[in-house]
Chains A and B, each alone.
Chain A
Amino acid sequence: MKQALLLLPLVLLAGTAMAATQIVATLDAPDTNITGLGFGNGSLWAVDHDTEFAYRVNPTTGAVEHSWYCSNSSRVPSGLTYANGTIYISMGNPPNLTSSYAYRYNETGVYQGQFDLDC
């Protein structure tokens, strides 16, 4: 009995900690191989590694609000982030994504420039 009473607060505490991290919503992805995600100006921004399309997604409904083809002749997209009104998409040469660059786009998908990501 004493052991049970000693363990009870710890078990309750652990239950609280485990419950703290959870999936609270699930949306259909806009494509089948989304490997980069960013958030900005109220939208989710996503890029697909295979189709090389970038998407603006409504984070409440999952609706695709805009998309554009961000293909590069040899490099393929991997990561994505949003900052300062700009979508940054990392692209590198497959399979190990070498010679990587960050490609910059505005929110309508117009190319703004690029910079070298290799060290």
Chain B
Amino acid sequence: MTGLGASAYSIYGAGVDTQTMKEVVEKYSFTGSIQTGPFFMLELGISFHDIAFHDNMIWYALGSGGENSVEVYNSSGSLIHWIPSSIVPGAYGLTFDDAGYLWASDTNTDELYKISVDFTALERETWGAIKATVGSL
């Protein structure tokens, strides 16, 4: 397990299952008792560092150098949101504060970023709509 996140009731540990090589998230009590079944175990094909748990989704810190520095998956393993590296250049440690700001550590710049996140599916759908509209004109 490489990443840890928490909700009001549980600890979430994220890693890669050594047998299946799938990304797995397990759920634990605060004292370490593993809860029934993994939160999910799916082949996401990502390389990640720390995680954060927010809105019942797993936020993965993907480091730097890729297209996205943060990707967000729901419990079904669907990619819901992402933050491009053009906005946040690197993310290794990851957490949310009480006001809903996302914090990321960047080991390349030795900085901590406080990030205002207001993602909806809008970003994804809007660009899709623009491409469709431009293509039809």
- Of A20, A21, A32, A57, which is within 8 A of B112 by CB? A57
Interface size class of A (residues with CB under 8 A): 35 or more
Identify 6 new A-B residue pairs, CB closer than 8 A, beyond the known A7-B134, A35-B49, A39-B96: A3-B137, A10-B126, A24-B116, A37-B50, A79-B3, A115-B33
Contacts of B130 in A (CB 8 A): 7, 10-11, 14
- On whether A79 and B30 interact (CB within 8 A), knowing A10-B129, A29-B111, the answer reads no
Minimal Cβ-Cβ distance residue in A for B86: A18
Flag if A34 contacts B93 (CB, 8 Å): yes
Minimal Cβ-Cβ distance residue in B for A27: B112
Among B95, B103, B106, B113, max chain A CB count under 10 A is at: B95
Decide if A65 is an interface residue (CB 8 Å cutoff): no
Contacts of B115 in A (CB 8 A): 21-24
B-to-A contact residues, CB < 8 Å = 1-8, 11-15, 17-18, 24, 26, 28, 30-33, 38, 49-52, 83, 87-88, 92-98, 101, 103-107, 110-120, 122-123, 126-127, 129-130, 133-134, 137
- On whether A39 and B30 interact (CB within 8 A), knowing A21-B116, A26-B114, A100-B1, the answer reads no
Flag if B112 contacts A34 (CB, 8 Å): yes
- Of B88, B95, B112, B127, which is within 8 A of A38 by CB? B95
- On whether A88 and B51 interact (CB within 8 A), knowing A35-B105, A115-B32, A119-B38, the answer reads no
Contacts of A114 in B (CB 8 A): 32
Flag if A115 contacts B133 (CB, 8 Å): no
Produce 1/0 per residue, A71-97, CB < 8 A to B: 000000011111110101110100001
Contacts of B112 in A (CB 8 A): 26-29, 34, 37, 44, 46, 57, 62
Q: How far is the CA of A88 from the CA of B53 in the complex (A)?
A: 14
Decide if A63 is an interface residue (CB 8 Å cutoff): no
| Closest Cβ–Cβ distance, residue A52 to chain B (whole Å) | 14
Flag if B1 contacts A117 (CB, 8 Å): yes
Flag if A90 contacts B1 (CB, 8 Å): yes
